[in-house]
Chains A and B, each alone.
Chain A
């Protein structure tokens, strides 16, 4: 069974204090690893897709990286508006399988 573990569960940063969020996974045949942002009371918002080890994607203050066992979401000089829950998800298997398996998420709070 596919498993996704995110750590830490919660992270509090001062504005401008860079850090990284971790997502470790155990799957059979990774097809893609995804990062989503979720604000309270809202649905998740897509951030990145990573397909193979060594791949990196960037968007504003966020940078996602992927190895064969884990992914990191690096946040550089965060701002209070980056406060949200960050979800990691994997898509695995073959054929028509479209199911995403999500981790529990990391709640990030950035203090001004």
Chain B
């Protein structure tokens, strides 16, 4: 399968613990995005990378959130000191990034986080 891969698919943690999600994009895609989706809502933009450079971050992304994309390949999203409000589906997407097609994102199946 050559689609976007996310791990783990489900994570249950206790409040205050740290969690890390991994995303492997489609291999030839140079742009990688993280979105968050809660029940009954559309995805909300968190951050995006072009190759290894993090080019944009949402105001939603507090200091407890950090994302990296070393070497412009896979990406990790870490949440420190989790709170119950962090419970959501974390979606990764990738795109080729060549205008005007920068919005045609290919999403993974998501990593669902439950904070107890």
Contacts and interface: CB of A to CB of B under 8 A. Distances in A.
A44 interface: yes
Contacts, number: 69
Given A34-B104, A91-B102, A98-B56, A43 B109 contact: yes
Interface in B88-114: 91, 93, 95, 97, 100-110
Interface residues of A, number: 26
Given A43-B109, A98-B97, A87 B103 contact: no
The secondary structure that dominates the B interface is: loop
Interface string B31-45: 101000000111111
Given A99-B48, A102-B44, A103-B42, A34 B103 contact: yes
| Nearest 10 Cβ contacts at the A-B interface | A102-B42, A43-B107, A91-B103, A99-B45, A32-B103, A98-B102, A44-B107, A102-B43, A43-B109, A104-B42
